[in-house]
A and B are shown apart, each in its own frame.
Chain A
């Protein structure tokens, strides 16, 4: 594909190209990979070595046991389980309710559907931080039923469903599905549920994948909201636990815990990188 510099110019300046290429690779390694390396390796240095000046590039003694110690002191089993439960629930509920609502708005066209869609899109204009306090007060005392959701995963799960961005992504995708397929299914006597399950969903795997990744990553990375709704540290996800326990831990153990908290996200990225990169483009360029 033709870009800014043509292939013939590039062929004439081989040396310059490889210099720039090498420089860029070096800069990327230093800027993006080295900090991660420093974190992974820093956790395995002894406490004395960690504060040594000048620092060692490779640990002179390896202490991989720090990871085990950090797991124990920070009770990472509890916090990782909490995070997984919160992320999984948010994922399932968001997938079910956003898909149902998006399908209804896109294909069933109920009365006042446009008004409802407008109301949902309007929430995109409201910055999340502006709703922080009233949303917290709602969770503390749910209107009408007067339930307190503090320290319960429902405080993560239910607000996660109110995700206008993912709902709109799904709705736009459903809008573009071939109408004659759905009409044919309707003529064959398939009801709304069967049409959704047997026609729409099998065609929607790419968008469902993107929404799933967005849903899980959002919960795993969130900090302020879980900080507010989990006052009991034993219920809190890993991100909150890291900050709350960061001052009581030896530095090397804290760093080890940080690595452990990042591993699932990095693994997710390496496995689903194509979907994630496609999703970034879809989510923002196409609005």
Chain B
């Protein structure tokens, strides 16, 4: 043992923890597919079935007694959509919003794994090895981030198949910046949900927390609807919600919607969110992970 090449560096075992979680995921195609079904259904339901653009273009809109020419109605519809969503294509608006949605749902379940690890004794097993405490948490965060980004890529590809139209100015950089923003969002959210689970031994508690937070986080963001049309009491909440900033970046970069907050500010905001929450996560894991 003494004269062995053993790596006790601060990052040792990090990839092992990460890869353990990933294996469970990619070796179970069923779970993998199920996790993709939800955003696809949402894209289909909200983007296609509830296509707001169709309200005007379905042809039935008219005012009795006034013979408004079709061009006028079409013109109005284009302007209404443009001033509301920043684009005439609601489907694309929503499909891009789905990227942060899938990141949120993926990150949310990351807390569950730590509850099970604690319950089944695996956590204690890890804690009796020289594995650095922070890596227990960071490995889980990292695996959750990777899962979230892979799912985001797939959702984007499906959206393209369903008719997402990119902005004319799309470059490789726009995609890189979008995924960087999603990476930061995933990092912060995963840390947050793992933090909430760090002392918990009951998966019921964790489920309750997830259910409490998922839809409010989603609807109190600009994922479905633009901020400027929201009631004033809701606006501050939406402007704190990191999902809003990820959507800002993704929409500006991919479909050319002028964002409410600048892309640079949004990325910095997300960076702060990710850094602060992962540091709190590591700090708490050193302090509270042992029973």
Partners in one complex: no
